[in-house]
Amino acid sequence: MQETSEHKPRSRSLGTPAWFEQGRHPDYRFSLANERTFLAWIRTALAFMAGAVGIYQFAPDFATPVTREALGVLLTLGGASLALAAYRRWSRNEQAMRSDSALPYTRLLLVVAIFVAIVALALALLIIFP
Amino acid sequence: MSTPHSTRDPGLQPERTGLSWSRTAFLLLLNSALITRAGFEHHDTLLTVLGITLLASTGAMYAWAGLRLHVITTTRQPVSPLSTWAMRLTTAVVSLAALGVCGDIVHQLLSQWPER
């Protein structure tokens, strides 16, 4: 660990990420925008979960039970992954801003767009051809 | 490149961030209501417990939404250990709830498997 004599890092609070003391504090507006982006991803995850519960529990006449359960599993796993990806993305953006480097590129948007398109297409087909 | 923290913010960032937490809490409330109702309706203990736990989390998130606005406007410190923990807890609650619902579906699927 490299330390200079005039700048000793303070002891970190419990569970605080290591990058807290690295680099310099970014413009507070950028940090707040990053926090809102995290929350937007969380809301997307919550929408997936609500969709899963809706199909699995409140649409007894829709398709077959196995199809409903498969869609439920797909959407809940998607929601859980998105929530974890949201935190990881927030953390990586914050670190990039502190070190003045470019924000990390993410394929997450493309993956989510393809995922939603496939689920929507499957739902449309199941509604048209029950 | 960086703007000093004391600069007046024309973008209403604190309000937007506080409202963003409120919107997220509202969606969490919607999920809690759906899961709790499904649990009661189908006598599913796992879903009922999950729904009530999520309902408590919603209350905590609404409280944090109000507190967040206050903390940002008074300290102008956007990232603190407390705010990091709030985000970690949110991530944990949402991902565990999604996995809980997934577990319930798989459990139902396996318990009825021989009949299909």
Of A32, A40, A80, the CB nearest to B13: A32
Q: Which of residues 86-125 of A touch B (CB under 8 A)?
A: 86-87, 90, 94
Q: Which of A8-12, A124-128, B15-19, B97-101 has the lowest mean pLDDT?
A: A8-12
Residue B7 has a CB neighbour count (10 Å cut-off) of 11
| pLDDT tens track for A14-47 | 767 777 777 778 888 889 999 999 999 999 999 9
- In chain A, which residues have their Cβ closer than 8 Å to the Cβ of B116? 65-66
pLDDT score at A17: 78
- In chain A, which residues have their Cβ closer than 8 Å to the Cβ of B14? 32
In angstroms, how far is CA B78 from the centroid of its own chain? 19
For the segment A51-73, the average pLDDT, to the nearest whole number, is: 92
pLDDT score at B75: 75
Q: Give the separation between CA A97 and CA B113, rounded to whole angstroms.
A: 51
* CB–CB contacts below 8 A, A to B: 142
| pLDDT tens track for B58-94 | 999 999 999 988 888 777 778 888 899 999 999 999 9
- pLDDT score of A7 more than 90: no
- pLDDT score of A77 more than 50: yes
Tokens describing residue A82:
């998105």
Q: Which residue has the higher pLDDT, B8 or A72?
A: A72
Of B3, B78, B98, the CB nearest to A35: B78
| pLDDT tens track for A113-130 | 999 999 999 999 999 987
Confidence of residue B8 (pLDDT cuts 50, 70, 90): low
pLDDT score at B10: 63
Q: Which residue of B has its CA nearest to A28?
A: B78
What residues does each domain of chain B span? 13-115
Q: Is B98 within 8 Å of A50 when comparing Cβ atoms?
A: no
Interchain CB contact of B56 with A (< 8 Å): no
Q: Give the separation between CA B46 and CA A109, rounded to whole angstroms.
A: 32
CA of A77 vs chain B CAs: smallest distance (Å): 7
| pLDDT tens track for B11-52 | 688 889 999 999 999 999 999 999 999 999 999 999 999 999
| pLDDT tens track for A86-109 | 999 999 999 998 888 888 888 899
Tokens describing residue B88:
């970690």
Q: State the complex-level ipTM.
A: 0.88
Q: Give the separation between CA B98 and CA A46, rounded to whole angstroms.
A: 8
Query: Closest Cα to residue B83, out of B14, B1, B32?
Result: B14
Interchain CB contact of B70 with A (< 8 Å): no
Assessment of whether the complete model's pTM goes beyond 0.90: no
Q: Which of residues 85-104 of B touch A (CB under 8 A)?
A: 85, 87-88, 90-91, 94-99, 101-102
